Structure 1
Amino acid sequence: MGVAMILLVLLLHAWHTNVSACNQQSHRDSRFPCPPVCVNGFCNGHGSCTCFTGYIGVAPLNQRCEPLCPRGCINSKCTAPDTCSCDRGHTKDPTYRNRCTPSCSPPCINGKCVSPNVCSCDPGYAKDPTYRNRCIPSCSRPCLNGKCVSPNFCSCDPGYAKDPTDRTRCVPSCSPFCINGTCVSPNFCSCHLGYTKHPTDRNRCIPSCSPPCLNGKCVSPNFCSCDPGYAKDPTDRTRCIPSYSPPCLNGKCVSPNVCSCDPGYAQDPTGRNRCVPSCSPPCLNGTCVSPNVCSCDSGYTVDPTGRTRCVPSSSRVSVADSNISTQAPITAAAVNTSTVSIPLWLMVVILVLTVLTAAATGALYYRHRRRHTAPPRVAETEREGEFSLLDRTLQYQNPHTEPPPPYKEWEEKPKFVSHHKRLTM
């Protein structure tokens, strides 16, 4: 190893000595001048330089030798044999020795450095307006309620989820899902028409009925489902009325299987849904068929003094007989005393009616007598009225006709009885 180094040094020294001598000889030979100094070569005695290995002469007359890079230099210069030096703003390509690539500082994000500190974005990315060497994902349509994290792909904000019909759209998310409503913001439901919020579950909407259901539950907008024992009111969709099966007879159903009797009726002890007529006092010897009206048993008839009492048909007495009974009580042999016993107040009423009837009869008789004894002025006036038209007609036809006879002659003829008197006689 040491011997080789010594030999190499001796050879270089001899070569340099020869070059210097050549140069001195060329300067002395005016016919073949050489450049003052042959760079990267030696003077060949013919007025030109002979380039060292790895260099090439440059015209004219090869007076200059430059480094030779057989594959050329990209974005760089050949500064030594087969050696490239990068231009400013470029760096060596790690895969190709003769190529230099643009350099961007800081490095390009989602893009390529195409010139010093100039980035070209990759497909699907766009320049970040706030950071020149960074490219951000681009979505053809802006992300709604989210961020574009890759080309045409959105990442939803908290409380939102992907719209299954649109990749670039995020819709509000409610957990649990809205029932009978729409999720309009994170965990907030907007109820559909005809529904209202549940008082304890914010993501649930329940049907709304207006007015509220009576004796039932609102199962859909303005539609009620009746509670057990109730049925729909045919006149009102949101109202349920008590029901009874079979229906109440002579009454109204006021609660499930409970009847309220109409006035004049009472509950039938044999049937809860039936009301029977009520008579006060109760019917005696008969049956109550309507409020305070009795139907008598066979062999009995209604007592004229009491609608709710029946007396034997053979023992019916008139009002006059009942008046006499105050003087002579009816014996048990004639009438059942328990049936026709007349209260004292009733006998007094009958007596008063009898007196009033007698007084009215006497007044009518007196009036009738007075009318027949009074002068027949009414008859004469009516008679005169009936014949006046005929007399005037005859007098007009025969002016010399004598007047009617005096009143005395008229009275001898049959008396005219007016229509009014005929009715009162």
Structure 2
Amino acid sequence: MNRLRVPVLFLTVVLCVLVVCEVEGRGRSSRDLPVGVCPETVNVPKTKWKGGKRVQYVEKVKKNACCSGWYYNRKEKACKAVCDLGCDGGTCVEPNVCRCPTSLVLKDNRQCVPPTCKDPCVNAVCVSDDECMCNPDYVPLNNTHCGPQCLPGFHNDPSTLNCTCNTGFKIDPNNSTNCLPICEPECVNATCIAPNTCSCLYGYDKMNNFTCSPKCDDCDNGDCVAPNMCQCNAGFSKNSVGKCVPVCSKPCLNGYCAEPEKCGCDSGYQPDNDPYVCAPVCKIECVNAICVSPNKCSCLPGFRGSEEGNICTPVCSNCINGDCVGPDVCKCREGFSLEAGICSPVCNKSCVNGECVAPDTCRCNEDYMSNASDSHVCYKPCPGVCEHGTCDLDGVCLCDRGYVAENGTCIELKPVNCESCNGTCSDGECWCDDDKPCFRVESAEVAPTTTLAGMELSWVVAGAIILLLLMVMIVVMQRIYSRRKKYETKTPNYYNACGSVVYTVPNTLTKGFNDLDEEEREDTKSVYENVEEEKHVQKQLLSSEDNV
């Protein structure tokens, strides 16, 4: 039985060793990771071809990342714990766990400060609130006081608890039972532990034999006034992690505060006239624009971008036939001039009844035609013949004096009596005040001439009337002629009853009317009646012509 137990026990031990090794092997990957680093599995979308088709799938990939409550410090390239309340003067060793230096104590779980003792510690150091720890070579006398421990060369007086000092020592003024070594010069931030021998206080480093300075882990841009207590220099202040950083009274635009009241510029920016402003840098100069960000121009008001990103061209609301040389500033091309903000064509002569559409080129208005002899003058043809008148440029027939426009031509005005229109005559022509023709009635003999001169009937009607009058006159003259012929046959010599000589025949003027016989008197009376009838017919002719 004892022989069987040994192999069984051996196998059991080997099995346990294997199990332990397996467990350690599985957990080694997590334990070997740095502090604050945790493994995690992420889904990574991937694509592959399967059966000639593109198939998307998700592959789980393991990677390391900072654990919850930790952040990645790029400068130290490590995961650092995060203390939500801060860890001023100490070190955040775990999430929301602040560890203070040995000379400081943690307050409110966020700030490391020197401990506070209500009663001062004598020959001791306040290591915790209301807790004193004796300096080296001192022994406690009570909660706050420590008495010196007599070293060789010293002795204590048991009755007074004072040490009797040897050479190089002096009585402690605070404890007459203790002897203090004498150091000349006095120790600074140190304790004189032997004649002319100083020992630095806790948290201080020795500078020379008699002076010690406080030690701070990080006190750039400041003075270490106590162990791990940094007082920032003028122009600096502590940031959230307790470091002294420069202070600028104004925010640094496009930069950061590099020194007190002095900004450092971000990449792509350079100092401006304003010490708190960093201006963007454009490698290619902006034309009619300002550089608003690195290598990016923004056009000034009145300008717009072009194909060349650094050049902005002026904008004109209307610059046809010209070149835009500035915002809404148009420079007209040759042959054009600026009128009411528009480059209009210039013609050497004004366009009459037309508009200037190109340099020295007129375009006629609607219904107007260009004059072949002068291209700057346009005219409209008269719709009619415009006889006895003149056609003006607007196609209006301007009739001559004594004519009026009717149906596109000029017809002669009917003369009126000058007495009815206050007319006047000059050089044989009579005109009314309203410039119409008129005539004056002076005698029966001139009436027909004046009347005929003012007839407004057409030539056909006038010809017909004249022909009718001629026929009447011919009939009358024929009748008169036949009667005279008859008288000449009967009595060749007689006196006209109207008192005038109608015609003479030899030996007739001396014969009186009373000398005639009865038959001759009847003939003479008949001739007189014929003459009176002829005068009456002439008066009727004159009257009919006036009516015409």
TM-score (norm 2): 0.37
